[in-house]
Structure 1
């Protein structure tokens, strides 16, 4: 989706406060969600104090549901599995093996432009999805993340989700790119609060296995390019739909 206004910075300018600094990449393997959340909070505080450089965590999670601040009671799982309520935006989603999760801990340049940051994350994900063969990957106006358009009896379907938090100008949480994970656990929730679309993976779209390891380096490269402004956000919008978070306040845990 295109931004509702012009970004605060020119498209070819870095959105990072430390425009010339290298990203510290940490490949963590499979990490418990709460352990990773605690690590993010610790690193974000250190980054805000200037004690560490911009950092990107690459990992996978054991199977878990997480509920953002706009999650509604009807979104929650019907299979009895636990849900972790988190401080990111958005509604409910699932994480598990076969899904590339990236948590950028980035100090953004002033004035902080949340919309531009999200669009740049989307751009990196669209780029790597198209490069691997999902050439129709793009945006739906009104909905974050990366989508593949409907075809035949298959509806629009999400292949990458984005949920972020920014505190003291430092980003937390991030992206989840479905590579070769199961889709079973999405059947028991309303993913991202959207009940009129589907969920897919790169492997399902391409009818071949695309692993997390296949996508790590391409994503890191694309992320550096978009954050620096060397890769600019383009209009990859192919449709529009209602924003699943519009008008919703924070929901109490059920």
Structure 2
């Protein structure tokens, strides 16, 4: 199978959402193959279907001063943050064609980053029995929140590469108060090549999902 990869570069959340819906409809109608959208968002806080607004702990003024917008979404999960230095991915995949369920799909995404982090950065990451995502010790490095529309996935993951971790202090990330967040930069103590990290994501997505990227 062929995997379309669409790289948007830096893009406002609402613009990327419009693109997602366009690609989603085309995938549902069979006009295109599975597509992975990769983007770096300007600072934004998004709320999933189960989100509690009380998990946004920064004041409106502080958020405004920090240039951080807030959006309600239809994905699963609670509150999360996207910003510069973070790779956000939106896999628009037809689960029916892949013959897998959403749980297996999420585990595959987790596997992408567990392998990538070990092979490329020598970072030991793992799953958490209670929470989705990818973790390094007690800190989340990849958050996952999806929606499925007519058998096709949308929304996706956020991968902290060189993220501003101070911005996560403005929320209770994913509604989990007893755990933290981290990034490759924090773990290694240095900024890493962002373009290279994007290429690794494409490489490992293709490996785990057995698809050649176009």
TM-score of the alignment, normalized to the shorter chain, above 0.5? yes
3-state secondary structure, aligned to 1:215: helix
| Uncovered stretches (5+) of structure 2, i.e. residues with no partner | 64-68
Q: Tell me the distance in 2 between the aligned counterparts of 1:36 and 1:55.
A: 14
Q: Tell me the distance in 2 between the aligned counterparts of 1:73 and 1:28.
A: 29
Aligned to 1:29: 9
Aligned to 2:195: 213
Aligned to 2:58: 78
Aligned to 1:89: 76
4+ residue segments displaced more than 4 Å? none
Q: Deviations over 1:149-203 (max 9, x none)?
A: 1xxxxxx101111111111111111111100011111111100001101111001
Q: Tell me the distance in 2 between the aligned counterparts of 1:165 and 1:212.
A: 27
Aligned to 2:181: 199
Aligned to 2:139: 157
3-state secondary structure, aligned to 2:108: helix
In the alignment, is the contact (CA less than 8 A) between 1:106 and 1:170 conserved in 2?
yes
| Uncovered stretches (5+) of structure 1, i.e. residues with no partner | 1-19, 150-155, 230-254
Q: Tell me the distance in 2 between the aligned counterparts of 1:206 and 1:225.
A: 25
Q: Tell me the distance in 1 between the aligned counterparts of 2:199 and 2:171.
A: 31
Q: CA deviation at 1:73?
A: 2.8
Q: Deviations over 1:194-247 (max 9, x none)?
A: 110111100110112123212111111111111129xxxxxxxxxxxxxxxxxx
1:48 and 2:35 matched: no
Q: Tell me the distance in 2 between the aligned counterparts of 1:134 and 1:142.
A: 25
Q: Deviations over 1:64-101 (max 9, x none)?
A: 10011111132124231342000100000110010011
Task: Tell me which protein shows more helix as a share of its residues.
Answer: 2
Aligned to 1:148: 136
Q: Which is further off, 119-128 or 74-83?
A: 74-83
Q: Tell me the distance in 1 between the aligned counterparts of 2:132 and 2:155.
A: 14
Q: How many residues align?
A: 204
Q: Tell me the distance in 2 between the aligned counterparts of 1:165 and 1:134.
A: 31
In the alignment, is the contact (CA less than 8 A) between 1:23 and 1:54 conserved in 2?
yes
In the alignment, is the contact (CA less than 8 A) between 1:134 and 1:202 conserved in 2?
no
In the alignment, is the contact (CA less than 8 A) between 2:95 and 2:102 conserved in 1?
no
Aligned to 1:224: 206
TM-score (norm 1): 0.77
Q: Tell me the distance in 2 between the aligned counterparts of 1:212 and 1:101.
A: 12
RMSD: 1.6
Q: Could you say which structure has the larger radius of gyration? A: 1
In the alignment, is the contact (CA less than 8 A) between 1:179 and 1:202 conserved in 2?
yes
Q: Tell me the distance in 2 between the aligned counterparts of 1:205 and 1:132.
A: 13
